[in-house]
Amino acid sequence: MIVRDPPSALRLFFIMQGSVVPRIIGKMGFVLVLTLTVVLIDTLLTPLPRTSLAAMSVFGVALSLFLGFRNNAAYARWWEARTLWGGLIADTRTLARQLELFGIPPSDRPALLTMTAAFAHAHRGSLRRCDVQDDVAAWIGKDKALTLLARANPADGALGHIAEQVAKLKRSGVVDGFAQMALADTLSRLALSQAGCERIRTTPLPFVYSLLVRRTTYLYSALLPFALLGSVEWFAPVFAVVVAYVFFGLQAVTNELEHPFDLRPNGLPLDAMCRVIERTLCDAMDQTTPPEAKPVDHILT
C-alpha cells in the first residue's frame, strides 16, 4: 500500500509510483496511433465516415456508469478485506487481554499467544501464496512450523491448536467454563475473519461482467476517432488519448483493487498488519517489542 503525502500540483503529473499509466501505456499508444492515422487519411487522402458525436457521448456515459459500478464493487472488496484484517488485529488483542483477565498463569500463556502469531503469518501466507515458514518458525519452532504448514489449511490448524490448549487448561482446572466460552468466542471471530478473507481471495468479480466492460471499452476507443473528425481536427489524438487514459485507467484500478491481498503497490499491507499483531503479543508476554513496519520508498507491504 502506498503511504505518502499528497504531491504538489507540478509533481502530480510526473509521479509514476502507484500510477496505472505504465500498465496502460500500450493501449494509450494504440489509441493515439489509430486516431492519428484516421485523421491523416481523412485529411490527406479521402474523407472517412463520421459517427455521431452525440451518440458517442451517450455511449460514453453508459460506459462510465458500467466502469464506475465495477470500480465500486472492487473497492468494496478491498475495504471489506481491510475491515476483516482490522478485526483480526482487534481479536488478537482481545485474546491477550482475556488471558490476563481470566488469571491464566504466565507460564501457560506463551503456548496460546505464540500460536496466535503463527496463525496470523500462516493466514498471510495462504492469502498471498508466499513462503512464511521462517516467520512461523520464529514463533513456534521449526518442527512445529513444518507440521503446521503441511496441513491443508495451516491457519485453521493454528486455531485448532489454540482450542486444544484451551481445552487442556479447562480440564486441568486453570480456567472455568465461563472463561472457556469467552475464549472460544474470540477464536470463532478469528475464524470468521479468516473465512471472510478466503472468500474474497477465491471469489473474483464475475468474469462475464468484466468481459463486457472490456469489450465495450475497446469498441468505444475504436469508434471515438471517427466521432472527433470534423469537430476538433488535429486535436483529435489528444482527446482520444485522454479518454483512453480515463477508461483504461479505471479498468486497471479495478483489476488491482479486485485482488486486495496481492503484493501490489495498492494492495493491503499484510506484512505490516502481522507486525502489529506481533507487537501486541510481545507486549502481552513481556518480551522485547519489534519495531513498527515502515514504508520503503513510500510502499508499505
Say how far apart CA 125 and CA 131 lie, in whole Å. 6
Say how far apart CA 206 and CA 218 lie, in whole Å. 19
Q: What is the pLDDT of residue 191?
A: 96
Q: Average pLDDT for residues 200-213, to the nearest whole number?
A: 86
Per DSSP, what are the bridge partners of residue 2?
299
Residue 50, helix vs strand vs coil: coil
Q: What is the pLDDT of residue 13?
A: 59
Say how far apart CA 125 and CA 121 lie, in whole Å. 6
pLDDT at residue 188 is higher than 90: yes
**Using one digit for the tens of pLDDT, what is the confidence trace for 28-63?**
899 999 988 888 887 888 877 877 777 777 878 888
Q: How many CB atoms lie within 10 A of CB 131?
A: 10
Say how far apart CA 39 and CA 46 lie, in whole Å. 10
Q: Average pLDDT for residues 204-231, to the nearest whole number?
A: 84
Domain ranges for the chain: 31-284
* pLDDT bucket at 77, cuts 50 / 70 / 90: very high
- Asked whether 27 and 251 are in contact (CB, 8 A), the reply is no
Cα 109 to Cα 143, 213, 278: the distances in Å are: 20, 53, 14
**Using one digit for the tens of pLDDT, what is the confidence trace for 263-279?**
888 889 999 999 999 99
Q: What is the pLDDT of residue 18?
A: 64
Cα 72 to Cα 114, 197, 246, 267: the distances in Å are: 38, 18, 15, 16
pLDDT at residue 140 is higher than 70: yes
Task: Report the Cα 216 to chain-centroid distance in Å.
Answer: 26
Prediction pTM value: 0.89
Q: What is the pLDDT of residue 50?
A: 77
The fraction of the chain above a pLDDT of 90, given in percent, is 46
Written in H, E and C, the secondary structure of 214-240 is HHHHHHHHHHHHHHHCCCCHHHHHHHH
Helix axes 236-257, 21-40, angle to 10 degrees: 150
Which has more pLDDT, 10 or 59?
59
DSSP 115-139: HHHHHHHHHHHHHHT---HHHHHHH
* pLDDT bucket at 7, cuts 50 / 70 / 90: low
pLDDT at residue 5 is higher than 70: no
**Using one digit for the tens of pLDDT, what is the confidence trace for 227-269?**
888 776 778 888 889 888 888 988 888 888 899 999 888 889 9
pLDDT at residue 184 is higher than 80: yes
**Using one digit for the tens of pLDDT, what is the confidence trace for 64-73?**
888 888 889 9
pLDDT at residue 3 is higher than 90: no
Q: What is the largest CA-CA distance in the chain?
A: 93
